[in-house]
Amino acid sequence: MILDLHAVQAISSGLNYYKTRQSAFNALFVGVGTSTLAAWYSAFASAEHFPTVRSYTAQGTAQAPLLTVRPLEESVAQEFVGDFAERVGGVTRDSYLVREGVELVIFARTPDMARVCHIVTRAAVALARRAMHRVGYHTWNYGGAQPLSPEEDLAAEELGIYVRRLTLNAEYQVHIPIPADAEFTVPTIDVADVLVLSATERTADGVQGGVDVVN
């Protein structure tokens, strides 16, 4: 699967969900005053502050407000019987349980909108979990927020933007069909055709002792 593209779709859908439902938006911010919530929602839903969601590798340029999705590491979480899963209709299938991560980077124009987009994005990950389970993901989890390096923080401040870095992790099973005509073979010798010589005997090549093939 392609986690970064699925994440773009899931986060876009989640942000749009909260953009059009003020009561659901308000429920994410427990303990925040009514007037503050109204101001935050109005700003979040406006064209000036609502973020564009795009892949880190997408063509073209974009400016804040922006949320980019960047692929991180991929690792094998589990192997199934030495990679082999099953043989169906003469085709072998190798299988792995893969763990993959992506980074969600928020670029906002105000510190309040950085906070709001952080919390709404976290909720958008949760909204997508059941749908992602149905398409094959075993897990789909919000991984937390990471601090910026001092250099990144300073650069963002000079540009007048506010940045938050979040992570999303997921696990899914990978199946790789191995057709019989794609498998290569190597020369093999049956154990019955192997001759082990004593130290006083020589092989056909004149090597004393050792292992040779029975002619």
pLDDT digits (tens, 9 = 90+) for 77-117: 877 655 555 666 667 778 888 999 999 999 999 999 999 99
- In the predicted model, what is the mean pLDDT of the chain? 86
The reply to whether 206 and 136 lie within a common domain is no
Q: Where are the alpha helices (DSSP H) in the chain?
A: 3-19, 22-27, 34-44, 111-134, 150-159
The reply to whether 208 and 136 lie within a common domain is no
End-to-end CA separation in angstroms for the chain: 52
The reply to whether 89 and 195 lie within a common domain is no
The reply to whether 113 and 87 lie within a common domain is yes
The reply to whether 213 and 172 lie within a common domain is no
The reply to whether 163 and 207 lie within a common domain is no
Of 16-20, 156-160, 162-166, least confident by mean pLDDT is 156-160
The reply to whether 147 and 214 lie within a common domain is no
pTM for this prediction = 0.77
d(CA 145, CA 39): 25
Helix, strand and coil content of the chain, in percent to the nearest 5, comes to 35, 40, 25
The reply to whether 203 and 121 lie within a common domain is no
State residue 43's pLDDT score: 97
Average pLDDT in the 138-148 region? Answer: 93
Residue 107's domain comprises 3-182
User: Which residues in 2-19 are b (16+ Cβ under 10 Å) and which e?
Assistant: ebbebbbebbbebbebbb
Count: domains in the chain:
2
The reply to whether 125 and 204 lie within a common domain is no
The reply to whether 21 and 63 lie within a common domain is yes
Q: Is 48 helix (H, G, I), strand (E, B) or coil?
A: coil
d(CA 167, CA 145): 6
